[in-house]
Amino acid sequence: MAVRSSNDIINEITIPEQLPSKCSEKDSESSLSDGLNTVHVEANNIFSDISDAPDDYDTASLSDELIQYNAVSSTHIIKPVCKAIQQVFHCIHAVEYTINHDASCIYTARSILPALPNRWISNSDDQLYRLQQLIEHSDLLKNILEDYDCEHLRCVSKALVEIEHLYPELITRFNTPQDIISVIRSDSTCEYMSVAEGMNRFQAAIHKECTCREFKEAQRERNRRAQRNFTTGIQYLDTLLKQHSRLLVIRLDLHQPKRPITLAEFKRFHGVFLQKLRRRKKVKLLGYIWKLEYGIHTEFHYHFIFFLDGREHARDILLGQMMGEIWNQVAGENHCYFNCNDPKYQKRFSTSAVGRLERNDPIKYNALLKVIRYFCKKDQFNIHRNCLNTKTFDTGRPFYVKKHMGRPSLKK
């Protein structure tokens, strides 16, 4: 395991109108420790194939935000833990624990020995830690909610308001749940309770919010949106395979340039890039699937799956590089793309989803479906507000649709 140092500290999650870039030639990384170290972990040991997402995996994990692949060294780089994005995942996991366990309290009064009085015992140390972190860093959630839309964040934020008057005592006496604290109510009267009872109020407030109609409807809409996008992607791929027995699949990640740009300008680059590809006579582009995403370290970026005619093209790695260079020209800078067809990157997968795809190859077809499903579902929990009123997932147009586009002919 190799270690290298860095001097930059990333500690903000607020996104200005001008979008800073993360496409510098040298990564800006901060530390997981006081030494400001970035840890390189061998690709084969970091985690299993992220494309193999289970059906209930509807969000990016914290590892997606913290782990980035370096194709040059064939390693993963562990990025620093940003406290704000960590709070987001604390919210998500706290709510999911509450739903899965129907948990309305975090402490239960139990008797350790028959001769001793009841004592407060934690039902889940992991959940208790999340609640403590959410209380201690509650100010971060207000900033996060300005930039992100997530029913889990809203749920926890409302629950925190109900126990706001308990913050000082719960933070300072978190490790002593048996202690009795005095709290001044809004009507100036004094209330006495144990620290455990105060934490139970927080857990009960989360339980109340995540069982309300508004939260459940938001979850249903999120699941519908993810399933709708996934169905669209499957149907598009199947249509291409019906028309062409062999496809060449290319995966590209397109990042914003180093100079500050607006999201509107970044989206304009997207349109210009596709237009330049369509005009390349030597590139038989049949279609594509794209996804706009936001990452705390990578900012706004596009994930693309391109489909070329496999009968006319075979060199997917070089074609991916060529497409990436076109994106660099549009963006006006270098180092703004990542070619996922790179063989060093593909070594981490047991089954490659890129390269040549035959109509009668179910193994590669299923691998590609997993990638599409991951595109559709991984960020549905937490959506940047700039993406709420813009399209974040789309496909190209099938041939039979293109054929009938434009003004109708007047000829009979």
Q: Rounded to an integer, what distance in angstroms lies between the CA atom of residue 196 and that of residue 329?
A: 59
Beta bridge partners of 98: none
Q: Rounded to an integer, what distance in angstroms lies between the CA atom of residue 202 and that of residue 166?
A: 10
- What is the reported pLDDT for 235? 94
Helix (H) or strand (E) holding 292: strand 285-295
- Average pLDDT on 279-284 reads 86
Asked if the model's pLDDT at residue 380 lies above 60, the reply is no
Q: Rounded to an integer, what distance in angstroms lies between the CA atom of residue 12 and that of residue 229?
A: 31
> Considering only 57-71, 261-275, 391-405, which range has the smallest mean pLDDT?
57-71
- Mind listing the pLDDT tens digit for each residue in 133-188? 999 998 888 888 877 778 899 999 999 999 998 998 999 998 899 999 988 877 77
Asked if the model's pLDDT at residue 99 lies above 60, the reply is yes
- Average pLDDT on 112-122 reads 82
Q: Rounded to an integer, what distance in angstroms lies between the CA atom of residue 334 and that of residue 325?
A: 8
User: Domains of the chain (ranges plus CATH)?
Assistant: 80-211 (no CATH), 243-400 (3.30.70)
- In order of 9, 44, 340, the CA distances from 12 in angstroms are 9, 31, 29
Angle (deg, nearest 10), helices 125-136 and 151-162: 80
pTM: predicted TM-score of the whole model, two decimal places: 0.71
Query: What is the DSSP track for 231-246?
Result: HHHHHHHHHHHHH-SE
Q: How confident is the model at residue 77 (pLDDT cuts 50, 70, 90)?
A: low
Q: How confident is the model at residue 112 (pLDDT cuts 50, 70, 90)?
A: confident
